[in-house]
Structure 1
Amino acid sequence: MAAEKKLKVCEKGHKYYKSSECRSCPTCDKENKPKSGFLSKLSSPARNALIHEGIDTLEKLSKYTEKEILKFHGIGPASLPTMRASLEEEGLSLKK
C-alpha cells in the first residue's frame, strides 16, 4: 500500500505534496540548481544529499568510496556513473 501524500509548505511558502518525511521542496530545488559544475548534472535528491554531507567539490567527493556515497539518503546507483564521469574529467576517482 502506497504511503499517503501530505501537503507540505516550505519556508518560502511553496506548497507541495510528499509521502515521505523528506523536507526537500521541489520548487526550491529547481531555483537552487547550480548552472554548472558536477552538482548541476545530478538529480535534486542526489545533489541535496551531497550538499547535506558537505560535499560540494569533486576533490571532496573523491575522498569517499562508492559504498559510503550510496549510504547517503537520496543517492542511488543511477547517480554513480555521472559522478564517476565528472571525477574522471578532472583526473580524479572515488576512493577504493
Structure 2
Amino acid sequence: MTTVTQLRKAALALPETEEGTHFGMVAFSVRGKGFASVTKDGEVQLQLGADEVESAVSAHPTGERISRNGTPIGFRVPLADIDGKDLNALVRAAWFARAPKRLAAALADADTGTTPGSDLPAGIGKPATRALLGAGLSTLAKVATRTEADLLALHGVGPKAVRILREELARTGRSLR
C-alpha cells in the first residue's frame, strides 16, 4: 500500500517535475506536460505509452486503462493496491513518456552513469550519483549551489554521500550553500 506522500517523493525526485493541481487533483508535470495525478478517490493516474499500459494492466488486476477516442493514454490504479517499488517504476515510466527527449536522454544517461563532463567523486556511490545527475547536478560547482538539506532530500543521497561531497568541495576551496 502506498500513499500520496510516496507518490509525491517519487515524482519530485525526477528532473524538472512540478507539483500542482489538475481539475482539483494533486498532479505532477514535467515542462507543463502532466504525467501523474491522484483522484479524490485515491487512485493514481499515470500517462503511459500503449506498451506500458498493457504491462501495468497485466501486473495490477485492480487497475484499468485510461483511453481517449479508443486509444490507450494511461493507467489508473488505487494507491492502496500498489506497492512502492511498482509505483516508483510506473511514475518513472510516465515521466519518460511525457518528458522532452533531451531531458529524458539526460536522465537515461544519469541512470547508466555515462554523463560526460561530470566530476562527481566515485566514492559517493551509484545511487547518489544517479540522484545528483537526475537532478541536473553533474558537477561539483552545481552541487555547491545547494544546501545539505537539498541534497539529503534527493532519493539516493545519504549522509555519507553528503560528507564526501562536502570534503571534495572543501579540497577545491568551495562549500555547500
TM-score bracket, shorter-length normalisation: 0.5 to 0.7
Residue 33 of structure 1 contacts residue 40 of structure 1 at CA under 8 Å; is this kept in 2? no
Residue 119 of structure 2 contacts residue 138 of structure 2 at CA under 8 Å; is this kept in 1? no
Residue 33 of structure 1 and its aligned partner are, at CA, apart by 8.9
Match of 1:85 among 159, 164, 167: 167
User: What are the Cα deviations for residues 49-80 of structure 1, in whole angstroms up to 9, with x where unaligned?
Assistant: 00000001111000000011110011111211
Matching residue's letter, 1:75: V
User: What are the Cα deviations for residues 2-24 of structure 1, in whole angstroms up to 9, with x where unaligned?
Assistant: xxxxxxxxxxxxxxxxx83468x
Q: Which has the larger radius of gyration?
A: 2
Match of 1:57 among 134, 139, 151: 139
Q: Which residue of 1 aligns with 2:121?
A: 39
Paired residue total: 71
Distance of 1:75 and 1:47 partners within structure 2 = 8
Alignment gaps of 5+ in structure 1: 1-18
Residue 32 of structure 1 and its aligned partner are, at CA, apart by 4.4
TM-score, length basis structure 2: 0.35
Residue 40 of structure 1 and its aligned partner are, at CA, apart by 1.9
Residue 115 of structure 2 contacts residue 138 of structure 2 at CA under 8 Å; is this kept in 1? no
Alignment gaps of 5+ in structure 2: 1-83, 93-110
Residue 84 of structure 1 and its aligned partner are, at CA, apart by 0.5
SS in 1 for 2:121: helix
Distance of 2:115 and 2:160 partners within structure 1 = 19
Q: Superposition RMSD on alpha carbons, in Å? A: 2.6
Q: Which residue of 1 aligns with 2:153?
A: 71
Percent identity reads 32
Distance of 2:123 and 2:129 partners within structure 1 = 9
